[in-house]
């Protein structure tokens, strides 16, 4: 275990069931905070704040512990089940069809931060914006706060979501969410409109078409890394955020130039995630493999 974490990540730790054209897993490790923290731990140390039921498998916990992730902020609720999601991907696997969502222990989740939670970087993974807001209110000393969200919260918790947006430094959304939040069909206009809601930096994910970055210093576009065999896209966005925020936390700088570099690392980490189910490919990933793919990607994007 590393001495002190530099990222505090708040989100879900879950049990998933996933089916894609290339296979099926009836039970596997999932959750936004799980993917994020594992990806970020390639760069720096992370502490998770989350809740699980007493059915949460010990082997899943061991996956994160072996990577040095601090799990002392995970609450175990006796007599309750862990958050569960079942999804199915078809065709090009651009979007999952949700077959079942069971909130379980997450329904009563009220995160309480410890006095020692002084990490400079805070990541609010995809979770109820009311939870995100309560965390921000408790952790006022963060140097850089990044947030993720999804269409469900935009549709059902918009006013609370806007309160969170006003207090963060960077927002990570996909292109559909960017359009939904702003009402703008053009992504450039959508990115600019999102910055007006509070965050100084906005990252818009476009899946296989790459990512866009908006900031005070301008605009940046990055293609996706070309992956030959996509087995399971679940957690790709969370892994992207983990690689990106992990690199930012490692450098300790939060400017536009650092974010541009961070997008490259996030893209590379996510490209490994989709090559197998759950966190299985990330678990096998070696630092030299990560560095080599980064080097290869840089050759692709730079003339």
> Per residue in 196-250, pLDDT tens?
999 999 999 998 899 999 998 899 999 999 999 999 999 999 999 999 999 999 9
Strands of the sheet containing 211-215, edge to edge, are: 70-77, 46-53, 7-10, 121-124, 144-148, 170-174, 201-205, 211-215, 218-222
What is the pLDDT, as a whole number, of residue 4?
63
How far apart, in Å, do the first and last CA atoms of the chain sit? Answer: 41
Structure pTM?
A: 0.95
18 domain-assigned? yes
Count of structural domains within the chain: 1
pLDDT greater than 70 at residue 55: yes
- The residue range of the domain holding 60 is 7-301
List Cα–Cα distances, 38 to 64, 70, 148, 239, 301, in angstroms. Answer: 7, 11, 16, 8, 26
CATH number for the domain that contains residue 136 = 3.40.1190.20
Inside any domain, residue 242: yes
pLDDT bucket at 82, cuts 50 / 70 / 90:
very high
Dihedral pair phi/psi, residue 53, rounded to 5°: -90, 175
Find residue 70's DSSP bridge partners.
47
**Mean pLDDT for the stretch of residues 62-85:** 97
Would residue 200 be called left, alpha or beta, if left means φ above 0 and alpha means ψ between -120 and 50 degrees? alpha
SS3 at position 208: helix
Is position 133 within any domain? yes
Mean pLDDT of the chain: 95
Percent of the chain scoring above 90 in pLDDT: 90
Please report whether residue 109 resides in a domain: yes
What is d(CA 214, CA 220) in angstroms, rounded to the nearest whole number?
Answer: 7
1 belongs to a structural domain: no
**70 part of a folded domain:** yes
Residue 137 lies in a domain: yes
Does residue 33 fall inside a structural domain?
yes
């Amino acid at each position: 275990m590393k001495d002190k974490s530099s990222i505090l990540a708040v989100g879900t730790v879950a049990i998933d069931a996933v089916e894609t054209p290339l296979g099926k897993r009836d039970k596997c490790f999932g959750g936004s905070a799980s993917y994020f923290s594992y990806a970020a731990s390639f760069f720096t140390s992370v502490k998770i704040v989350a809740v699980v039921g007493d059915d949460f498998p010990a082997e899943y916990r061991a996956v994160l512990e072996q990577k040095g992730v601090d799990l002392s902020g995970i609450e175990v609720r006796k007599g309750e089940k862990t958050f569960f999601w079942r999804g199915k991907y078809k065709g090009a696997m651009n979007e999952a069809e949700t077959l079942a969502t069971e909130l379980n222990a997450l329904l009563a989740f009220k995160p309480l931060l410890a006095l020692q939670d002084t990490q400079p970087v805070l990541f609010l993974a995809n979770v109820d914006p009311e939870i995100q807001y309560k965390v921000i209110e408790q952790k006022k000393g963060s140097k850089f706060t990044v947030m993720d969200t999804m269409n469900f919260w935009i549709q059902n918790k918009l006013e609370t979501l806007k309160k969170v947006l006003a207090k963060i430094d960077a927002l990570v959304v996909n292109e559909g969410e960017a359009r939904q939040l702003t009402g703008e069909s053009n992504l450039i206009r959508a990115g600019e409109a999102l910055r007006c809601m509070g965050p100084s930096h906005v990252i818009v994910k476009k899946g296989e078409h790459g990512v866009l970055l908006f900031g005070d210093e301008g605009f940046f576009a990055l293609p996706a890394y070309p992956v030959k065999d996509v087995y399971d896209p679940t957690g790709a966005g969370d892994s992207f955020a983990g690689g990106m925020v992990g690199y930012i936390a490692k450098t300790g700088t939060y400017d536009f130039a650092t974010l541009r570099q961070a997008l490259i690392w996030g893209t590379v980490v996510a490209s490994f995630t989709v090559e197998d189910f759950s966190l299985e490919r990330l678990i096998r990933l070696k630092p030299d493999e990560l560095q080599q793919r980064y080097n290869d990607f840089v050759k692709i994007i730079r003339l």
